[in-house]
Amino acid sequence: MLIRIEVNGDPVSATVDPRNTLAEFLRYQLRLTGTHIGCEHGVCGACTVLVDGAAVRSCLMLAAQADQSQVMTVEGLADDAELGPLQTAFRKHHALQCGFCTPGILMTMHALLSEEPEADRARIREVLSGNLCRCTGYIPIVDAVFDARSSYQKNRPE
């Protein structure tokens, strides 16, 4: 079936098999391999992307269900060679080790800070509980997200 979506600002129309998840579509058809597929049943959070601004697990959404929506992946966070503020904070605080879970965590936290730029550490941890990281522990991740808040507070539409 034919779907028309917008991915990181670019219009895309493509033919998908109904059984394709959004994660599979992004990786295998659009070659946007920044979105990682971990558990494939909605537990690990590695495949988190934004659909119409809301963080969702792309392994639990059919590509067909994303028809007519706007999708943002981790590739949309950076401005060409320049890292976005959340990514910069992750580098500064060593908030990643192997990096497998990082795209999902970045997208989840980008959604959170876009919606709630005043989120405190407890709220960050609560939302982060839907993303599994098996390398670093979560303390540097929370530090990085907390540090990145100022950029989202500045960018907040009045």
Partner 1 sequence: MKLPPFKYASPETLNEAVQLLASRPGEAKVISGGQSLVPMLAFRLAAPSLLVDLRKVAGLNEIDVTDHGVRLGAMVRWCDIERHSQLGLAHPLLVEAVSHVAHYQIRNRGTVGGSIAHADPAAELPGIAVTCGATICIHGLSGDRVVNAEEFFTGALTTILSEDEIVTAIQFPPWPAKRRWSFQEFARRRGDFAVAGAMLFFDEDTDGRARGAHIGVIGMGDRPERLRPAENILNGRMVDVQTIALVANAAAKTVDPPTDIHATTDYRRALVATLVERALKASNKSEGGRAITDVNSY
Q: Using the rule CB under 8 A, is 62 a contact of partner 1?
A: yes
Say how far apart CA 60 and CA 76 lie, in whole Å. 21
Contact of 56 with 62, CB cutoff 8 Å: no
* Distance (Å) of CA 137 to CA 19, 45, 113: 35, 15, 21
Cα angle 83, 32, 144; round to 5:
35
Decide: is 147 part of the binding site for partner 1 (CB under 8 A): no
- Cα separation of 100 and 80, whole Å? 21
Exactly one of 9, 11, 18, 157 binds partner 1 (CB under 8 A); which one?
18
- Least distance from partner 1 to the Cβ atom of residue 70, Å: 14
**Which region, judged by CB under 8 A, interacts with partner 1, from 4-12, 48-56, 84-92, 149-157?**
48-56
**Cβ 60 to partner 1 shortest distance, Å:** 4
Residues that bind partner 1 (CB under 8 A): 1, 17-21, 24, 40-42, 45, 48, 54-57, 59-62, 64-65, 108, 111-112, 122, 125-127, 129-130
